[in-house]
Structure 1
């Protein structure tokens, strides 16, 4: 049974209480939490509300930036990530999403070594708290400042380097789904997959993320989802719909469309 959820970035202008009430009203079973919204709302209040609404936390976004691309030093980024692990445990989040950080003028080998060192440190704490970490690759066209890890092969190499049982990955179809070889990579990915995020776009990412309504772009979402389900993926499926193409739409309309789209090929799973 795959938990069907929405990431809070999809309703970025709402506060957490509005998000949770609307997601539950639309029949979603989970919510992907965004740390700034959680901080504004309060963790204890958040736990109480989600328990009342019977919403599970499919993810907490995000920790990372270990290369200094966001202005923080390595130690500060690691400390923040360890705090995020504690928050994820308190929220009973199914995974904490991790972004590597941009290359930030480092050579690739140094950036990779820095990321592996950070993940090794954080994984120890994550294992103690029973929190799963998920490294997310970002498309270089819209995420070079967020991550120097851009594809599934590089992500799997990092997982192999760190070797923690608590470390896996996020597959966001917006970032990696337009790769012509995506379906061939899925058998290698499935056993490490903690979270499947669904995003669609009308063209390859360039500049800011600009997702469209699910099913209205060029990402082969249905093929990806069906392939992973056939291979036994039982983790959460979380929609993330944000960008200029959907900004004019009311959030209720976005949620209605998202739920209807997911029901097309996951209705038998939920």
Structure 2
């Protein structure tokens, strides 16, 4: 695979090309000269971890992350089932050869208004999962989500909250995700990125669109189509010591309806023009 050296740290998060299987996404990356891919558990499960790992390795790519584990806020039997599922996710990440398992920690359990309790259950779950992950060479990457997702998807809304949860654990076991879509608005973001340092396990980029669609989960846009200034984020994570990949992760109905090869071409151009710009 011939790759433009400027693309050496670019990764396609598989959800950006929603219609592609693992094989199709890997082959698309090879055609586009993109050297890394962030995989999702569901399409990996369709062919099995070993087959997915072989596809990636044979193509000369690397797996930048696996999405996703998490949803750790329930108690009782549901909470115990979530722990087991996350142990499986850790094993899958190890089998794919990535040290980064992204965690979307979960929102409020059905009928609950106990936000403090939900966050405590995440902390308790991390205490069980972090050693297991560390033994397998995998780091749990806590992803704070925009506050509009607090009730149903992630009771962690800021990078500072994620770091507070991560700090009791070794850096090799628990890190954080810096995702521009979710934290671009935070006036504390620059101080928190610097604080994160080597806990930054993943750097994800896409744009924040307005008006948001009715399904706000699909409000992510291609870089340049929204409101985020990307170079300051890239410089901040680099200054904090991050040397890993930059994943482009987009949930957007229009992007998903576009020919995936065209999406990758646009993604590359926008990355070069808007993320790497000085």
Q: TM-score, normalised by structure 2?
A: 0.88
Which residue does the alignment assign to 2:81? 76
Aligned-partner Cα distance in 2 for 1:205–1:185:
26
Equivalent residue for 1:127, pick from 134, 138, 141:
134
Q: Which sections of structure 1, spanning at least 5 residues, go unmatched? A: none
1:205–1:169 Cα change, 3 Å: farther
Indicate yes or no: 2:161 matched with 1:154: yes
Q: Match of 1:98, SS?
A: strand
Q: Aligned pair in 2 of structure 1 residues 143, 209: CA closer, same or farther (>3 Å)?
A: farther
Note closer, same or farther for the CA distance 1:27–1:144 as it changes in structure 2 (3 Å cut): farther
Aligned position for 1:116: 123
The correspondence for 1:38, drawn from 25, 44, 49, is 44
Q: Which residue of 2 aligns with 1:242?
A: 251
CA distance in 2, matches of 1:223, 1:122: 33
Indicate how the Cα distance of structure 1 residues 205 and 77 shifts in structure 2: closer, same or farther if over 3 A, else same.
farther
Which residue of the other structure, out of 144, 150, 160, is the alignment partner of 1:137?
Answer: 144
What is the CA–CA distance in structure 1 between the aligned matches of 2:94 and 2:178, rounded to whole Å? 22
Q: Which ranges in structure 2 are unaligned for 5 or more consecutive residues?
A: none
In the alignment, the residues of structure 2 paired with residue 39 and residue 109 of structure 1 have an alpha-carbon distance, to the nearest angstrom, of 34
1:246: Cα distance to partner?
A: 2.4
Provide the rounded CA distance (Å) in 2 between the counterparts of 1:267 and 1:114: 39
2:204 equivalent among 189, 194, 197: 197
Alignment of 1:60-99 (within 5 A): 60-68=66-74, 73-99=78-104
Q: Which moved more, 1:153-162 or 1:123-132?
A: 153-162
Aligned to 2:220: 211
Q: 1:252 aligns with which of 255, 258, 261?
A: 261
Q: Hey, what's the Cα distance between the residues in 2 that align with 1:171 and 1:97?
A: 11
Deviations 1:124-150 (A, max 9, x none): 111111111101011122453111111
Aligned-partner SS, 1:73: helix
Contact 1:214 1:241 in 2 (8 A): no
Q: CA RMSD in A?
A: 2.4
Report the secondary structure of 1:78's partner residue.
helix
SS of the aligned residue for 2:203 comes to strand
Q: What is the DSSP-based 3-state SS (H/G/I as helix, E as strand, rest coil) of the residue aligned with 1:133?
A: strand
| Cα shift at 1:195 | 0.4
CA distance in 1, matches of 2:80, 2:169: 18
Q: How many corresponding residue pairs? A: 267
Looking at structure 1, the residues matched to 246 and 99 of structure 2 have their Cα atoms a distance apart, in angstroms, of 12
Instruction: Please tell me whether the aligned partners of residues 178 and 204 of structure 1 are also in contact (alpha carbons under 8 angstroms).
Output: no
